Structure 1
Amino acid sequence: MYKIVIVEDDENIREELQQLLVNALYEVSWIEEFQRVAKQILNLNPDLVLLDMNLPNQDGLGICGELRKTSQVPIIFVTSNVTSMDELNCITRGGDDYITKPYQPPILLARIAAVLKRSAPKKEEQEVQLTYREVTLELSTGKLKRENVSIDLTKNEIKIVYYLFRKAGCIIAREELMDYLWDNQIFIDDNTLSVNITRIRAKLKELGAGEYITTKRGLGYLLE
């Protein structure tokens, strides 16, 4: 799971960003004390930083400059500064991307995914496998396994099972699952999601796993 640090002094925006990122399965930390911000960020060892320009004590450009002395952590400026010179300054001082407020959440998530893909290790691939109740999702081969039996999954099925395994025990709304797939450049409609869930259930049954995925009417899916 990628870790993202939010550097934003507006509490409402910070909480909105936090919830958006948590829902997208990122690990989230944030800065609340705006002294020695660069050192705090480095201590948190994030995979990406969302950095505001206008901050107490030191602006975002100064923080970015300090980070670049010792770190290549990806930085996306999220700011209300909207001039082309502001954007140029952010990029030339070491920023990886620049997005203006008010932002569109899907666009911001797409920008984050793109920067991480270019700049950070692919942690989902590093996880190698996830196991839940004797069933293992092997990410490197795209297989579901139980005991000595394995079944191939499609790309869509891998992403869906990955999300379900990571949120096992929680009800996942269909809209939440479709947003996650969209953020990962998998474009499916409501009917296609139903088809994929049906196929995954059939493959789990082939493994002798029984009814892992329960439909909660009007709420979504539950892996139990």
Structure 2
Amino acid sequence: MFTIMIIEDNELIRNEIHNLLDLNKYKTIKIHDFNNITNQVKEYNPDLILLDINLPNDDGFKICTEIRSFSKTPIIFVTSRSTNIDELMGITLGADDFITKPYNTQILLARVASVLKRAYPNEKITDNIEHNGITLNILTNTIQYNDKSVELTKNEFKILHYLLINRGKIVSRVDILDYLWDSALFVNDNTLTVNITRIRNKMEELGIKDYIKTKRGQGYMI
């Protein structure tokens, strides 16, 4: 399991990134003390750093420079600073990628996976979740089964992905709705029902039946 350090002073964004990475099986370290950040990098020795530019004390550019003086740990800037000059400076100082806020969560995950693959080529990193013959491709939002595939909408993908990473457990409708809201996907209870039905219909197109089970009064389960 890769360890990712989140250097972000906005608590809501910091927690959002943490939750997203945690659901995708990454270990995270959230920085709360913005004094001596480089010492914390040395102490925890993460596999990847997500770094904001606008921080309470030193800016991200200075921190990136300091980290590069002793470490080759991959760095991705995740920032609201979106000018070409900011991006050019970040890459010039040694960052591996540059993502602007507000970000698409799936693009953020794809960039993280891509940088990790380049940095650790001998480590196995998968873009897929496989379970009972079904493959959910995280990068293409598709379900694959017996050499056939079907594409999911963003909401359908997020719902199925959440159920899959919690497979073997009953997931309540409230939990699913909270997860979608945290991902900036605004779905109400009726829309959730419609999306579950659409996922089931698409699975049946591939020959998959009864994959998502309804637990009456409790939620859904894979």
TM-score bin, normalised by smaller chain: 0.5 to 0.7
SS in 2 for 1:156: strand
The answer (yes or no) to whether the contact 1:157–1:196 under 8 Å persists in 2 is no
Q: Within 5 Å, give how 1:78-97 maps onto structure 2.
A: 78-97=78-97
Partner SS for 1:70: coil
Counterpart amino acid of 1:215?
K
Alignment-derived partner of residue 8 in structure 1? 8
How far apart are the structure 2 equivalents of 1:155 and 1:169? 15
Equivalent pair of 1:2/1:123 in contact (CA under 8 Å): no
Q: Is contact 2:168–2:221 with CA below 8 Å preserved after alignment?
A: no
For 1:172 and 1:21, the matched residues in 2 are separated by 19
Aligned to 1:38: 38
Matched residue SS, 2:87: helix
TM value normalised by structure 1 = 0.62
The 3 A distance-change label for structure 1 pair 197 and 61 is: farther
2:213 alignment counterpart: 215
Over 3 Å counting, the alpha-carbon distance change for 1:72 and 1:36 in structure 2 is same
RMSD: 3.8
Structure-2 change in CA distance of 1:164 and 1:55 (3 Å): same
For 1:52-90, what per-residue CA distance to the aligned partner results, in whole angstroms no more than 9, with x for missing partners? 001111111111111111211111000111110000000
Distance 1:104 1:165, change over 3 A: closer
In 1, Cα distance between equivalents of 2:20 and 2:73: 21
Query: In the comparison of the two structures, how many residue pairs are matched?
Result: 174
Which residue in 1 is equivalent to 2:27? 27
Q: Identify the residue that residue 113 of structure 1 maps to in structure 2.
A: 113
Q: Quote the residue 2:185 is aligned against.
A: none
Cα offset, 1:170, TM superposition: 3.2
Shift of 1:31: 0.6
Q: Distance in 2 between matches of 1:98 and 1:157?
A: 27
Which residue in the other structure is 2:102 paired with? 102
Cα 1:196/1:79, change in 2 over 3 Å: same
Deviation of residue 99 (structure 1)? 0.7
In the alignment, is residue 156 of structure 1 matched against residue 135 of structure 2? yes
User: 1:126-205 maps to which residues of 2 (within 5 A)?
Assistant: 156=135, 167=166, 169-171=168-170, 190=199
The structure-2 alpha-carbon separation of the partners of 1:77 and 1:217, relative to structure 1 and needing over 3 Å to count, comes to: same
Taking only the aligned residue pairs, the percentage that are identical comes to: 42
TM-score (norm 2): 0.63
Q: Structure 1 residue runs of 4+, over 4 Å off?
A: 121-125, 157-160, 163-169, 191-199
